[in-house]
Amino acid sequence: MKSGIVFDLKRFAIHDGPGIRTTVFLKGCPLRCIWCHNPESISPECKTIKTHTMIGKNSFPAEKTIGKEMSSEEVVLEILKDRIFYEESDGGVTFSGGEPLMQPDFLRELLQVSKENNIHTTVDTSGFAAMEFIENTLSIADLILYDLKLIDDDLHRKYIKMSNKKILKNLQHLNDIKANIIIRIPIIPQITDTKKNISDIIRFLRKMHFSGRIDLLPFHKTANQKYKNLKMINYVDKIKAKDENELKKIVSQFTEAGLCAKYEG
C-alpha cells in the first residue's frame, strides 16, 4: 500500500460534491494563489508551527504539526467509518488539497480502493498537472471539481505565479472525453470577478461546448488566522467580499450565455 501526506480530514462535508462526504486534504500545491484559503497546504512536507491554545480565558504558547504520513489503507479505513451516511445521502469521499495530483500515485490508489468499496469518488483539482496524471489518475474519479480562475495568462502568472496553459489544455481534454466535471470559479473581488475575466471564461467554456455545471465560490476571510500562525503575508486581508446581489448578477451573465451556473453560499 502506498503512503502520502494528509493535512486534514473533514467529516460531514456538504460543499465538496454530492451528498454527505468525507473530504481528505492532501498536502502540497504547485500554485501560489494570493487568496489561498488553505495556505498550510502549500508545502508538500509536514511542518510544525508556533500557535496558541486557550485554557479558560488565558492564552498559552503551543505547537501544531501540519501534515501526517498515512497509508492508503489508513485513509480508506477512516473514510469507511461514515459509509452509512454516504449511502443515505448519495455522498462519498472527496480528495482535495493543496493539489491532490501532486501525490498522483497515492491519489490513484486512494481512488481505486475507494471505488472497490463502492464509495463515490470526487477529486477537487486545479488541473495543474502532467497530462499522464490527468489520464491515469483523474479519469478514475466519478466526479471532478475543476477550479478555473483566470483566462488571461499574464494575470494568471501575476496572481497565481504559474501559467494557465496546462490547466486550460487539461480541462479541454477532460471535456473532450466526456468526464463528469463541475467547474468551480472563485469570485475574488478585483481579480477574478472583472468584467473581462468573466467574459473570457464564458467565451472559453462556450468554445469548448461545456454543458456541465458551473459553481461560483464567494470569497471569504476564514483563512486570516492561518496566515498569522504561518507568518505568511495575507495579500487579500483588506478585500471586501461581494454581496448576494452582486453574485446573482455574475450568475446571470453565465445563464444568459446558455451556461448552467449557480453560486455556493
> Are residues 123 and 111 in contact, defined by beta-carbon separation less than 8 angstroms?
yes
Q: What would the mean pLDDT of 28-42 be, rounded to a whole number? A: 92
Q: What would the mean pLDDT of 87-104 be, rounded to a whole number? A: 97
Question: Rounded CA gap, 223 and 228, in Å?
Answer: 9
**β-pairing verdict for 21-26 and 92-96:** parallel
Question: Rounded CA gap, 32 and 99, in Å?
Answer: 11
Question: Is the peptide bond preceding residue 98 cis, with omega within 30 degrees of 0?
Answer: yes
> Are residues 31 and 97 in contact, defined by beta-carbon separation less than 8 angstroms?
no
Residue 265 has pLDDT above 70, yes or no: no
Full domain range(s) for residue 71:
3-263
**204: domain CATH number?**
3.20.20.70
Mean pLDDT, rounded, of the chain: 93
Q: Please give the pLDDT value at position 74.
A: 97
Counting the structural domains of the chain, the total is 1
Residue 227 has pLDDT above 70, yes or no: yes
pTM: 0.93
> Are residues 158 and 190 in contact, defined by beta-carbon separation less than 8 angstroms?
no
> Are residues 21 and 82 in contact, defined by beta-carbon separation less than 8 angstroms?
no
pLDDT tens for each residue of 232-246: 888 888 777 778 888
Question: Rounded CA gap, 217 and 33, in Å?
Answer: 15
Q: Please give the pLDDT value at position 195.
A: 96
Q: How far lies 31's CA from each of 85, 101, 126, 163, in Å?
A: 33, 12, 8, 10
> Are residues 112 and 138 in contact, defined by beta-carbon separation less than 8 angstroms?
no
CA angle 164, 215, 110 (to 5 degrees): 70
Question: Rounded CA gap, 71 and 77, in Å?
Answer: 10
